């Protein structure tokens, strides 16, 4: 193995709490807030929840562990991590895929993050405009100049945090923002559950309906496990490269999956009762967040306040995910090209702007311009999330099995662990050797057959 010349001067997360908050900040994103609850609802509620939790335990956890061990063992971000653990081979290409994918996402994620920021301000200053005709308001907002300013502001905020460094930027802000997100979530939850008629929303989310379960449900659960835990992007590898050797990775992994799943569940409980109590259709996606919910909030007293809080929650979720994404190409340029953090940030910002401007325009003047049948925004999203993320995820597992070694990975996992014989360590070997590859092949086959 190559000596790590970086080891001494590399920054480290100062506390276990801080690094868990940073990783949870990445995992808790827009997907937790609307996607999870929606796919749970359409796939039979409580029945799907069981499948999701099994997927998290048998596929999410082992892949998360494998990424954490690659990062911490090598002490490097993606690409350099693979080069360090497998010198003279082509495995670094897996890292390159991850850096490429995260850069693509950085180009369009600020667009959505910008909408959420814009809607916080609109709710506070122009509530009657938001609620007069929510669909028209959203169309006007996302196609106008405000969308540009908002996207640029979101990118700038996250960039400034990353420029602050791992400890005083990412760790400090995540430790502040994630608890704030928790408090906002609880406030929204209390409001939602106290609405008359909330029960219908609860049963949409939780009542098991086995007749709605099918092969599709398993694929949905697998795909979401991967997306929700921010796997296959080099994020967990990069964050783990800043972890000290005495960090208990088992505790970190358990905290990450528990908090990510808990936030997704609570967000569902905060959204669906509101939607049902007020008689709206729980349609998937952007429509739910930016059109249905403002319309629903308009019907409750002080709706503007709850709307502002909801979009603030979304903004925090998006911002901390964006931070983790930015750190991947920035750390790559620092570790592999020797650039300073500022120079690396400038390069990433320039690429994100060049690719991101047409992504903003995809909702305005470029709405009819398609590439392979997709708008530019959807092309970036599909390429990153549907193609590159599962591919990198699959190859990452192959790397563990055929090159790094499951036992070496497990040994790293147990370095710093308080209990050597923990449950995760016991399921890790069979899960990463057998279950995760089969699951990832299913996702890939499904992608290819689309
Ligand atoms: N994990 C985030 C979510 O649940 C999405 C995400 C994926 C963010 C990959 C960054 C990278 O919404």
- Contact present, 326 and 230 (Cβ < 8 Å): no
Q: Is the pLDDT of residue 3 over 50?
A: no
Mean pLDDT check: name the lowest of 103-117, 225-239, 381-395.
381-395
Q: For 382-392, write each residue's pLDDT tens digit.
A: 899 888 998 99
Residue whose CA is closest, atom 7 of ligand 1? Answer: 230
- Supply 262's token pair: 């808990």
How many CB atoms are located within 10 Å of the residue 368 CB? 7
- Count, residues in the chain: 450
Tell me, what's the pLDDT at 60? 95
How large is the average pLDDT for residues 416-436? 91
- Which stretch, 37-46, 80-89, 130-139, has highest mean pLDDT? 80-89
Chain segment 268-290, per-residue pLDDT in tens:
999 888 888 888 877 667 778 89
Q: Ligand 1, atom 9: nearest CA belongs to which residue?
A: 230
Residue spans of the domains in the chain: they are 16-107+169-293+320-343+380-448
What tens digit of pLDDT does each residue of 166-210 get? 999 999 999 999 999 999 999 999 999 998 888 888 888 888 888
What separation in Å is there between the alpha carbon of 118 and the centre of ligand 1? 20
Please tell me the predicted confidence (pLDDT) of residue 129: 85
Q: With the C-alpha atoms ordered 367, 371, 374, 377, is the resulting torsion angle positive or negative? A: negative
Q: Which of 230, 260, 265, 320 to mutate to test the pocket of ligand 1 (most atoms within 8 A of CB)?
A: 230
pTM above 0.75? yes
DSSP character string of 199-215: HHHHHHHHS--GGG--H
- Taking residues 68-97, report their average pLDDT: 97
**Cβ(366)–Cβ(143) below 8 Å:** no
User: 294-303: per-residue pLDDT in tens?
Assistant: 988 999 999 9
**CA–CA distance, 323 with 161 (Å, rounded to integer):** 7
3-state secondary structure of 417: coil
Q: Indicate whether 158 pLDDT > 90.
A: yes
pLDDT reading at 67 higher than 50:
yes
Angle, vertex CA 83, rays to CA 77 and CA 88, nearest 5: 175
Burial grade of 54 (CB within 10 A; 0-12, 13-18, 19 or more): middle
Q: What is the pLDDT of residue 196?
A: 86
How confident is the model at residue 420, as a pLDDT?
86
Residue 261, pLDDT > 90, answer yes
């Amino acid at each position: 193995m190559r000596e790590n010349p970086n080891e001494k001067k590399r920054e480290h997360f100062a506390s276990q709490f801080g690094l868990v908050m940073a990783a949870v900040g990445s995992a808790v994103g827009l997907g937790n807030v609307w996607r999870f609850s929606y796919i749970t609802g359409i796939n039979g509620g409580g029945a799907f929840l069981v499948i999701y939790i099994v997927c998290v335990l048998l596929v999410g956890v082992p892949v998360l562990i494998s990424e954490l061990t690659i990062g911490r063992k090598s002490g490097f971000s993606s690409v350099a991590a693979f080069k360090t653990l497998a010198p003279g081979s082509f495995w670094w290409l897996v890292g390159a895929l991850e850096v490429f994918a995260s850069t693509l996402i950085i180009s369009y994620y600020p667009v959505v993050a910008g909408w959420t920021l814009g809607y916080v301000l609109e709710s506070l200053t122009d509530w009657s405009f938001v609620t007069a005709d929510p669909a028209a308001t959203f169309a006007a907002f996302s196609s106008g100049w405000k969308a540009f300013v908002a996207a640029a502001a979101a990118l700038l905020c996250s960039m400034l945090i990353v420029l602050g460094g791992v400890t005083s930027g990412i760790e400090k802000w995540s430790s502040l923002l994630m608890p704030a997100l928790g408090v906002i979530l609880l406030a929204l939850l209390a409001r939602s559950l106290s609405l008359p008629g909330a029960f219908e929303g609860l049963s949409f989310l939780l009542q098991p309906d086995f007749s709605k379960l099918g092969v599709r449900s398993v694929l949905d659960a697998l795909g979401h496990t991967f997306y929700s835990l921010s796997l296959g992007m080099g994020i967990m590898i990069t964050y783990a490269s800043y972890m000290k050797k005495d960090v208990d990775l088992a505790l970190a992994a358990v905290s990450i999956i528990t908090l990510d799943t808990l936030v997704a569940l609570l967000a569902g409980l905060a959204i669906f009762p509101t939607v049902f109590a007020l008689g709206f259709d729980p349609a998937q996606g952007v429509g739910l967040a930016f059109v249905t919910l403002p319309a629903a909030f308009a019907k409750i007293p002080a709706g503007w306040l709850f709307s502002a809080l909801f979009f603030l929650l979304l903004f925090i979720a998006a911002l901390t995910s964006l931070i983790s994404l930015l750190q991947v190409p920035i750390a790559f340029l620092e570790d592999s090209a020797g650039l300073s953090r500022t120079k690396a940030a400038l390069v990433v910002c320039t690429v994100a702007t060049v690719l991101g401007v047409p992504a903003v325009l995809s909702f305005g003047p470029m709405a009819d311009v398609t590439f392979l049948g997709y708008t530019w925004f959807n092309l970036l999203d599909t390429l990153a999330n549907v193609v590159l993320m599962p591919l990198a995820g699959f190859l990452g597992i192959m790397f563990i099995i055929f090159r790094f070694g499951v036992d070496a990975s497990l040994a790293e996992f147990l370095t710093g662990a308080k209990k050597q014989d923990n449950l995760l360590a016991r399921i890790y070997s069979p899960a990463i050797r057998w279950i995760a590859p089969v699951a990832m092949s299913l996702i890939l086959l499904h992608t290819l057959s689309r």
